[in-house]
Chains A and B, each alone.
Chain A
Amino acid sequence: MSASAGYELAITAILTLAGLGFLLSLVLLAGTKIFKVKTDPRVDRVLDLLPGSNCGACGFGGCNECARAIIEEAAAPDVCPLCRGEAVDRISKIAGREVKDTSPAVAVVLCRSRASAPRNFLYRGIPECRAAAAAAGGETACRWGCLRYYDCVRSCPFDAFEIDSEGNPVVDPRRCRSCEICVRACPRGIIKMTPADKPVEVLCSSRDPAKTTARACPTGCIACGRCVKVCPRSAIEVKDNLARIDPELCDGCGRCVEVCPRKIIYLQGAREAAAAGGGDGQK
């Protein structure tokens, strides 16, 4: 091949590809104009409010489908489990529909111990709760207690955990998106989903008898029943050596919080304040 023929070939090659690219971009541009679909503008506005992660948790094929379903009244405005609060309000306003008031569930770690809580032995293994729980039943003297290797904190995709001054993982309910990943991550099963507006919570999981619990943890529920007696609405019952509060009945008066000798009943707000303010949110 002569030099000029090679030159010519290069030119035609460049022209061919550039021409093709140009032509195709024109065709696509024309396509967007010709095939422009008028969509309900509300769909786009709802789509803006949806998380856009296309996780499919709503049961539709992505956020786009979900937004369309909401506008076409095939789905409730609060169908997206990742959307809550203000976003749901605005979506239902756009869709022109009321949403029945459902309180979303948030995760709560049902253990609020002390860094100085007794241990059976010192664990020096892989720093993961799963591994620590497998080693001779876990090092904490309380077999229901938080192991404090923070599998839950690492598992949270929304970074909703704080660690208080005593080393307890605490869920920030404003950041919790109810994905329940931490619930599955906890080998001790002490993370529970509770209504976000549940006013009072007993932060202990111990089902052991009072004597065992008292020895194992300074802040374990000893099932003394004082909270049960003081509750004006009989919302509290002690079952399996553990006080539990019925969120349907509880009105958040806070009398049980004052009377609890172990100081493990927390008012909403105080739970998180304890995390921010240093493990002593009772005062």
Chain B
Amino acid sequence: MIGELAIIFIGAVLVNNFVLTRFLGLCPYIGVSRDLKAAAGMGLAVIFVMTIASAVTWMIYYYLLLPGPANLWAGLLGRGGDLTFLRTLSFILVIAALVQLVEMALLKTSPALYRALGIYLPLITTNCAILGVAFLNIDYFFGSAGALEGSFTKSLVHGFSAGIGFTLALILMSAIRERLETADIPEAFRGAPIAFLTAALLSMAFLGFTGLI
């Protein structure tokens, strides 16, 4: 189990990095990578939300949408239909509400952390990487016969490591971009173009991890 989890971790951070290999969450990647401090804050918020979203969407999928013995409707009505087609809708709903709740709780319990995460916490409600991790959890950890063994833990670890991978990419990018600020760049490449080129080069570098697992 530990070995499997380690492979999931390495896989999500390096091999299938959400930003650099899967191209998910590109808007914050370009938008918030201008300085290191903001990037770290954003990364922290994403790790946090991805982990929680993994747990909650797993529960929604397992207990409400997927037909089987654990299905809530099967328990109530005797039989439950296959509601997996609702996953996009219900996941977005749940993630949005969840982030709101987390935001309120943070404001109450830890104003310092709330302020550190700042505007990024509500922003990532609509981040495609969050929804992406929820879907990938289902693709990976649910077989045709229902949930695979230990799928809840695996989902959690996958969500957490996807967040770590996102943060890694974001911090690398922002560190490079901070240096680019003072570099002598041809005028036509200044701003977004050089950022895209840098992102492409970073992405190619991460291609080197392909054979790792």
Q: Is the interface of A mostly helix, strand, loop or mixed?
A: helix
Q: Please determine whether A35 and B118 come into contact, CB atoms closer than 8 angstroms.
A: no
A65 and chain B: residue at smallest CB distance: B115
Q: Binary interface profile of A, 7-41, with partner B (CB < 8 Å = 1, else 0)?
A: 01100110111001100110110011011110000
A21 surroundings in chain B (CB, below 8 A):
93
Q: How far is the CA of A20 from the CA of B86 in the complex (A)?
A: 12
Q: Please determine whether B73 and A16 come into contact, CB atoms closer than 8 angstroms.
A: yes
Q: What is the total number of residues of chain B having a CB less than 8 Å from a CB of chain A? A: 26
A37 surroundings in chain B (CB, below 8 A):
107-108, 111
Q: Report if A127 contacts B (CB, 8 A).
A: no
B89 and chain A: residue at smallest CB distance: A17
Q: Report if B105 contacts A (CB, 8 A).
A: yes
Q: Report if A118 contacts B (CB, 8 A).
A: no
Residues of B81-123 contacting chain A, CB below 8 A: 81-83, 85-86, 89-90, 93-94, 97, 100-101, 104-105, 107-109, 111, 118-119
Q: How far is the CA of A32 from the CA of B108 in the complex (A)?
A: 10
Q: Report if A5 contacts B (CB, 8 A).
A: yes
Least distance between A198 CB and chain B CB atoms (Å): 38
A13 surroundings in chain B (CB, below 8 A):
81, 83, 85-86
Q: How far is the CA of A15 from the CA of B90 in the complex (A)?
A: 12
Q: How large is the interface on A (under 10, 10 to 19, 20 to 34, 35 or more residues)?
A: 20 to 34
Q: Please determine whether B100 and A28 come into contact, CB atoms closer than 8 angstroms.
A: yes
Report which of A9, A36, A61 forms a contact with B119, defined as CB distance below 8 A: A61
Q: Please determine whether B81 and A12 come into contact, CB atoms closer than 8 angstroms.
A: yes
Residues of A170-189 contacting chain B, CB below 8 A: none
Q: How far is the CA of A27 from the CA of B105 in the complex (A)?
A: 12
Q: Report if B65 contacts A (CB, 8 A).
A: yes
Q: Binary interface profile of B, 145-162, with partner A (CB < 8 Å = 1, else 0)?
A: 000000000000000000
Q: Report if B80 contacts A (CB, 8 A).
A: yes
Q: Report if B64 contacts A (CB, 8 A).
A: yes
Q: Please determine whether A32 and B104 come into contact, CB atoms closer than 8 angstroms.
A: yes
B77 surroundings in chain A (CB, below 8 A):
8, 12
